Amino acid sequence: MADHRCDASQIEQRYLDGSRRVLCYHSSESVPLLFARDMYELARLITGRLFEWASDNPTGLVLLDTGRILQHVAAFMQERSGLEKRSLKHIRLVQGLEFVTRQGYQPVRSRLVELFLNGETFDPDHAVLLDTSAVDLLDLEPERRRIRREDGTRSHRRRAEALERLEGVARRHAQLIADAGGIGFCVSEIGPNGMILGNEVGVRMNDARVTSVPRDAADRFLGRYRLVHHVDGRRRVPTVTLGPQVLSTEAGAVSIVAATDASGLEHLEDCLYAPTDSEYPARSFAPKGSGRVYTLSSAAPLLRTRYLETVEVEEPLGEQRMQQCVIDISLATGRPVSELAERDYEANPLGVRLLQRSDFGMHPLNTMTLEGLHSRLSGGLRRINDAVILHLEPLPHSAIMALAPWITRLQGSSSIQQAVAVLRSAPYDVPEEQMLDLTIRMLGGLHDDRLGLKSMQRLGYFDEGRPDYRSRDAWTFLDGLARKSEAFKDVGRLRRLLRNLHEVYGADSVGDVQVRVEALIRHFEDVDHLHVEAADIRHLRSLQQEWSSDCLWTSFGCRGRDVQYFGGTAVAGQLGETLRSLRPDIVTLPLDVDGSGPAPLFETLTEVFPVLADYQASRRSTEPTWPGLRIVGYRMPGTTGTPIEADVFIPVSIADLAAIRASIVEVAGLPEDYVRMIEQTVLEQYGVVSEALGAGFLRNHEHDELRSAVGMAFLHDRPLDDILAGRASWDEFASTPRSGMT
């Protein structure tokens, strides 16, 4: 397969010189790839290339996608000098950004909003900001709706209203788009809350995206889009696009795609390997080397033959990369690592490259890989004693869903203290149908004696200084769950609702509560997804989400006072105070491996790690013998990891899966889809380990936990120092001279 060399820009060449790679692409592809070591380096590279491009095209057109990587790009843009920023003043910018979500929360991409709206970098007179947040596709996709079931007439009416609103957005933006230079606008992605995101320039709708929208809605919307598309030929301007949803086929356009996760790369593969004369030309980049894909080295295995290129570069192969290659060869041949022979390596292109590049022969490679797998299994069986553990949960229930098997093992030790800090980095809300059911139950329970509202007031039930009553709510509900008693469960959850009504509305008499509950019932019976909810409703739903978390963590043995909720703009200060008072030895949190987590997680981790570093430095100054903070990290639930990226394998038994199902479905009241997602992940990960070690290895192991395992949870377990050291490449790249940019 022939390789084609491409001309690199100055910024690209500086990066390539540092990584000892060349910019090329295979003859079966239409665009070259450039691999970055981590997310921060990738963002730095994109930022430098954007400024470089703007200096050559001062009146060009920029389209930015709404992906996670742009939050770092925005931060790096703000670091630039005033002289450099002026080069972007006359750039025509088009941005599809949800400034306000469906529930009316503050924008999660604060850096982007600040960058685009304050005029510091981009001139608002030249920018078109497409606010697509008002269009809610939940009504267009009945299987994804979270409102209670309705009769067909009402459902069809809402569907028609939402579709009309969707077309209205296209009509309103059509003239703005034309005035900005003739940019085609279409649905390119459905966000986590069912919002329309994205914008495209001169390209047709990618059919992979149409599947996210009902066909009739897509066809009607595309009719509007094609009218806008024809405007593109009136004025041609130099164009640069960033993001997998904004690919350009225009001659002279520069398409830079920052693809970092499996979802983005899956759609990107169509563009990389589709011939230029394919049925969907939007899948192909502009030819002759003007297209670029910037992605992560760790994401390379998702891109077919591109995995080989990461092995053939001249930089030394680390042990982890070599072990992953051996495991991949094992899975490809269907033979366990211990039985791999030289012929297996020679029959596999990856094996041939590996033997050529590494200083090891076949037997040392097999031995090293087996020792690594055995070490990770042993780490998962190791018990923890005499430790204080703080679970940081930046997304709803993420820690429980990822760490349940590990947390279950901690319950057997009396020397373990656990606490939880729930960081509200993403909207926390309870579905409307649950809120409606709860308020109806409350109305029925106000007039009997099971709630005892007057005695609750007499005992100081609503006093903030009595957290034991909050715990009693959760334990009463769990007792009812164990007894299969709806009456007990109602006492627990309705008392918590009373507490929340008191906090939000100050309602403390039976009459006040009844009036408020009746108003809430009317609201949730006729909820309109197309309008932003009032602040008091959002606050109440957020408090009810806390109730769900309280019950979930209580079922795993945590006390009510050990579960805290941080929100607003002072998360760093609240977290720092908790660290100083609790003095944890271990902190658990999601690690955004390959950008697998949602956008709010990105901002949260950026804010959390400096606080953890400050706490570690402060404690070491008073306890010189303290070994330092350890981080137990996990991928976001539903994303399957590789064995080598993890430090420990936690065996998951049938009993563990049953406990997880009970906690998530019965205690937290979440859909069974969450459980199936977790089950699929741990089963797939078990399959990889089992195949690499041989089918009989785990079943005949001397340890009963491994014999009974049906799944594997992959976790990171490493010192905070190691994680912070991994960010050195970002700082190093950030401080290098910006050739061609000054």
Q: How far apart are CA 57 and CA 240, in angstroms?
A: 10
- pLDDT of the residue at 396: 73
Out of 75-89, 378-392, 516-530, give the one with best mean pLDDT.
Answer: 378-392
Burial of 412 (0-12, 13-18, 19+ CB in 10 A): exposed
Mean pLDDT of the chain: 68
Q: Does 383-424+567-742 match 3-131+195-210+237-307 at the fold level?
A: yes
What tens digit of pLDDT does each residue of 3-51 get?
556 677 888 888 777 666 666 655 555 566 777 776 777 778 878 887 8
Which residue did the predictor score with more confidence, 563 or 120?
A: 563
What tens digit of pLDDT does each residue of 416-449 get?
899 999 876 544 567 777 888 888 888 887 766 5
Q: How far apart are CA 611 and CA 657, in angstroms?
A: 34
Domain ranges for the chain, please list them.
3-131+195-210+237-307, 316-380, 383-424+567-742, 426-565
- 526: its two tokens: 């006729």
Which residue did the predictor score with more confidence, 228 or 677?
A: 677
585: nearest Cα among 412, 382, 416, 366: 416
pLDDT at 415 over 90: no
pLDDT at 389 over 80: yes
- 410: its two tokens: 């901690």
Buried-state track 119-151, b at ≥16 Cβ within 10 A, e below 16: eebbeeebbbbbebbbbbbbbbbeeebebeeee
Burial of 365 (0-12, 13-18, 19+ CB in 10 A): buried
The CATH code for residues 383-424+567-742 is 3.40.50.10320
446: nearest Cα among 379, 508, 394, 386: 508
- The whole-number average pLDDT for the span 294-303 is 64
- The whole-number average pLDDT for the span 546-560 is 86
The CATH code for residues 3-131+195-210+237-307 is 3.40.50
Q: How far apart are CA 181 and CA 232, in angstroms?
A: 7
